[in-house]
Structure 1
Amino acid sequence: MFKKLSLVFFSVSVAIMMVLGSCKSKFEKLKAGNDNLKKYQEAIKLYNKKEYSKALELFDDLAPRYRGREAAEDLFYYYAYTNYKLKDFTSARYQFKNFAENYQSSPKAEECRFMAAYCFYLDSPNYTLDQENTTKAIEALQLFINLYPKSDRVAEASKLIQDLRDKLEDKAYANSKLYLTIQDYQSAVIAFGNTLRDYPDTKYAEELEFLTIKAQYLYAKNSSEARQEERFNQAISFADQFAEKYPASKYLKEAAALKKDSQQGITDVKTYYADIQKNAKYYRKLAKIDSTGNKTSLPSEKNNSQKIPN
């Protein structure tokens, strides 16, 4: 009895394996064969059944064989979309772009030009990463708009461009704030200005203009005495412009405090130089070489290790 059951189980297993094997071999046999029409028809069937990986295997094989033939237009259209469905946007945009350029008179050319740009959009990374693909996506979408200004897809392309520009804006905002974090105050002032210039309507404008005051104040504070008055005055100018532009800002109180500190900084540096001038003879005496050959440092030479020299 046990032997009979074992024999039945073995027979069923063999039968299942044969069925599975015949299914697999049928696809492999088709793939290895030279019947291009059958391959093409099967690739379309697999695509419509959403078996994109198998469809791609056949399209990969057919593409070089169909190039230049009349039926190639539809094949390359499906080929591009198969890569797209598999989320291989790099390959998809390449195929869409090639289609648009090789079949310019095709009714599908406009769609493929848009899809090539859209694949760039989908490949645009988080704003914290390198934004090369974001820039290329904007260029590709703008090219689409230029080529097809009356297309129904222009509104969507414009919206995608705005999304990408928002991402570049976020990148510029984060990068400019980073200079303040690492205490490179001069670069921070420049970066804030560049971001405001490049994105005049940025949602971060109020904050960036306030941070410009803060960065300029800290830049002046950490400068050598010879450059402080000029740099504090610039901070005061930024504060005045800010108060005029944003009279109800949540940063107004802090901006006023930075202005007051800048004014005090100018007073302090003027007092410092007035003191040196008043006691010029005394300091020259201290600076002379004594009998032991040592030189006494001037007060202006002390405590400046943390100052920005220029």
Structure 2
Amino acid sequence: MFKIKHVILFSFIVIALSIAGCKSQFEKIRLSNDVKKKYEEAMRLYNKKNYSKALILFEDLSQKYRGRAEAEELNYHYAMTLYKLRDYTTARYQFKSFADTYPSSRYAEECRYMGAYCYYLDSPAPSLDQENTYKAIDALQLFINFYPKSERAADAAKYIGLLRAKLEDKAYANAKLYYDLGGYDVTNYKAAVIALKNAQIDFPDIKYAEEMDFLIIKSQFAYAKNSYETRQEDRFNEAITYADEFIEGHPQSKLVEDAKTLKKDSQTGIENAKKFLAQLAKDQEKYKAMLAKDAKSDSTKTIKTPIK
């Protein structure tokens, strides 16, 4: 029993010493001034997919290899190591730097593509700021312009399509948010109409076209309904115009009947507004006549002297 425990303990010690030996060997190479040996170790670690350690050596070598013939190969693997570690922000910078520095390199096309692809991978969710999405589209389009016959051009075009779809989601969500907030401020309904129209100008083939056209009617109708009666006729007429455009543009839509209902309700709203204003004018005339009568009565009153 004692021998077994002794053997197990000895095995653990050997393993621990081996690990310690490997670490110390890496540290020796890292601190060494032998750049050739350091480069060879960096490539060995890269090929073994030990990217974290390889990166440490590549970062050190990138300064020491500047201007040397080996710098091209080194900088390519340095950028790829950053990509493998999912540091897309730094990786895209290194890929672009490589493509600009070595435009004739056998890696130039790949690095130009990878730089754009890293922008794509860094594109955030539709609910967040889309600055990187726009930059990704520009970078991918630039790659297509540089290499229109590349096998990667098709992938670049596919990613541009996906990014534009994300921007469409963002535009639709933003416009719909104005409508949802209309209950807190009636002007949000008008803002929704403007945002929905602008989104369709920016994205003529937007996949939400039908829903957005219908939401324009709803927004305009709500805007008119919550306006003062003096403004309702013009605003309901706009809702009717949007309803007619929807019915003509989407004759097979399941929302056509709803559009017709909103049109009818808008017409009713105009009639009610006119009646209200007419009654108000009539009441004002009565009120003015009453004031005039009261004024005349007051002017003819006689003041009797009380009997003492």
Judge which range, 173-182 or 13-22, deviates more.
13-22
| Residue 201 of structure 2: aligned partner | 197
Post-superposition offset of 1:10 = 5.7
* Match in the other structure for 2:285: 281
Aligned to 1:271: 275
**1:114 counterpart = 2:118:** no
How far 1:283 sits from its partner (Å)? 2.6
Establish whether residue 208 from structure 1 lines up as the match of residue 208 from structure 2. no
Q: Which secondary structure state, in structure 2, belongs to the residue aligned with residue 125 of structure 1?
A: coil
Report which stretch shifted further, 124-133 or 235-244: 124-133
TM-score normalised by length of structure 2: 0.88
Task: Quote the offset at 1:7 in angstroms.
Answer: 6.6
Q: 2:243 aligns to what?
A: 239
Alpha-carbon distance change, 9 to 149 in structure 1, aligned in 2, over 3 angstroms: closer
Amino acid at match of 2:44: K
1:250 to 226, 249, 254: 254
Gaps of 5+ in 2: 183-187, 296-308
Deviation at 1:17, TM superposition (A): 2.9
Matched positions, count: 289
- Structure 1 residues 262, 103: closer, same or farther in 2, change over 3 A? same
Matched, 1:127 2:126: yes
Supply the distance in 2 between the matched residues of 1:211 and 1:7 (Cα, whole angstroms). Answer: 79
Q: Distance in 2 between matches of 1:27 and 1:279?
A: 96
Identity %: 57
Give the letter for the 1:99 counterpart.
F
Give the conservation status (yes or no) of the 8 Å contact 1:276–1:283. Answer: no
- The residue type paired with residue 45 of structure 2 is L
Gaps of 5+ in 1: 292-310
Deviation track 1:235-267 (CA, whole Å, cap 9, x = no partner) reads 001111111111221111111111111101111
CA contact (8 A) 1:100 1:113 kept: yes
CA distance in structure 1 between the aligned counterparts of 2:151 and 2:173, rounded to whole angstroms: 35
Which one is further off, 197-206 or 92-101? 197-206
Alpha-carbon shift at residue 214 of structure 1 (Å): 0.6
2:164 and 2:25 map into 1 onto residues whose CA distance is 50
Q: 1:211 to 1:5 in 2, by over 3 A?
A: closer
For residues 63 and 159 of structure 2, what CA distance do their matches in structure 1 show? Answer: 34
User: Would you say the 8 A contact 2:230–2:277 is kept in 1?
Assistant: no
1:1-310 matches, cutoff 5 A: 11-183=10-182, 184-284=188-288
SS at match of 1:200: coil
RMSD of aligned residue pairs (Cα, Å): 2.1
Structure with bigger gyration radius: 2
How far residue 157 of structure 1 moved from its aligned partner, in angstroms, is 1.0
TM-score (norm 1): 0.88
Displacement after TM superposition at 1:5 (Å): 7.4
In structure 2, relative to structure 1, the CA distance for the partners of 1:7 and 1:192 (3 Å cut) is closer
CA contact (8 A) 1:220 1:232 kept: yes
Equivalent position amino acid for 2:139 in 1: A
**Aligned amino acid, residue 188 of structure 1:** A
Q: Note the C-alpha offset of 1:279.
A: 3.3
Q: Is the 8 A contact 1:243 1:252 kept in 2?
A: yes
Deviations 1:49-76 (A, max 9, x none): 1111111111111111111211100000
